[in-house]
Amino acid sequence: MDARETGAAPVPDSGGSAAPVLDSADGATPDGGRRQRWLTLAGIAAAVALLAAFPVMFTDPTATSIGVFTLVFMVATAAWNVFSGYSGYLALGHAVFFGSGGYAVALAARDWHFKGGWDVFGLLPFGGLVAAAIAIPFGLIALRTRRHTFVVVTIAIFFIFQLAAFNLGFTGGTSGIELPLAPFSPTSYNDPFFYVGLVILILTVAMSWAVRRSRFGLQLLAIRDDEDRARGLGVKVGRVKLTAFVLSAFPVGMVGGLYFYFLGQIFPQFAYDPLFDISLALMAFLGGIGTLLGPLLGALVLEALQQYFTQSLSGNGTYLIAYGVLFLAVILLLPRGVIPTLTQLIANRRARTNIGLEGTPEPTIPSGVAGVTR
């Protein structure tokens, strides 16, 4: 690992070679590192506490329903980023996992005679497993191609699943499938869905963090930077990509089941919706694709605003204009995404501050003036 990765500045040591010197201004000292970790943990705890308190602070069903939809997309975008963000392969077929997870939960609840309530939440891991199982042959086919061709293949497979859902008998076709009605209190009906979605989100973010900090994550990043070079260095490229693809499918399948259980019914045109994949990509790019927090921020902002505009301004289509203008402004002003842009701005400001401190000239004694001390 070189000095750029550790935040160290290389300077010559006594033997003439470059030795890293830690810059305390950047928090690279042991105390600074511990302080940074504690600040990070405190920020995470505060964010989780705020999310957990959301249904308590906002009891309006409209607000909590927006919260449920937002959590669903935060999970899906974070999971999508585990594959597409870290590997550099833009996938536009995750709606296959979303819809398949929803159908798996709906069919299991119907055929196994679930009455509705908390028991249906127990089927969500089953929906994730079905999505992950589908991702194996899906990935084996699609990942034989590279980059742009991969995008086209994922779109083609998506439409195969969409047409199959319309025409297969067990999916109900255009009639769809009804899910059991959850017997929750009308005043707090959305709350169980919200908290289950929050738990799935925490687990998904933990998975993304673990992948990013692992050797497996470094292999994905190597593939993103230069796949041929990564293969030459011994990375099992096909196996690594397929594993990440399957890992990303599991949470998407779970929230697919949660989403359609919340709605109470599932139809092919909504289960396999091409706008779902486009939304995931836009949310990730907005916040910062390939980062841990960027996709979460993008989904939080875009989905919450989209739901709010849809419910508030849907009468005349104004919400579409407002949504488009907002997204266009962010893309033009922050093309790298919010998180990377802010990180770069902070780094540049620290660098300017350090240069200013190090470059302050010392006072000099004018030549020919005697008896002056510093």
Determine what percent of the chain is predicted with pLDDT higher than 70: 84
Question: Between vectors from CA 341 to CA 281 and to CA 88, what angle results, nearest 5°?
Answer: 40
Boundaries of every domain in the chain: 53-273
pLDDT at 177 over 60: yes
How many Å apart are CA 191 and CA 63, to the nearest integer? Answer: 11
Contact 145, 269 (CB under 8 A): no
What is the signed CA dihedral for 63, 65, 68, 70, rounded to 10 degrees? -60
pLDDT at 307 over 60: yes
Q: Tell me the three-class secondary structure of 52-112, residue by residue.
A: HHHHHHCCCHHHHHHHHHHHHHHHHHHHHHHHHHHHCCCCCCCHHHHHHHHHHHHHHHHHC
Tell me the pLDDT band of 14, cut-offs 50, 70 and 90: very low
Per-residue pLDDT at 22: 36
pLDDT digits (tens, 9 = 90+) for 38-86: 877 788 888 889 999 999 999 999 899 999 999 999 999 999 999 999 9
Q: 374 pLDDT band (50/70/90 cuts)? A: very low
Residue 244, pLDDT above cutoff 80: yes
CA separation for the pair 223, 48 (Å, rounded): 32
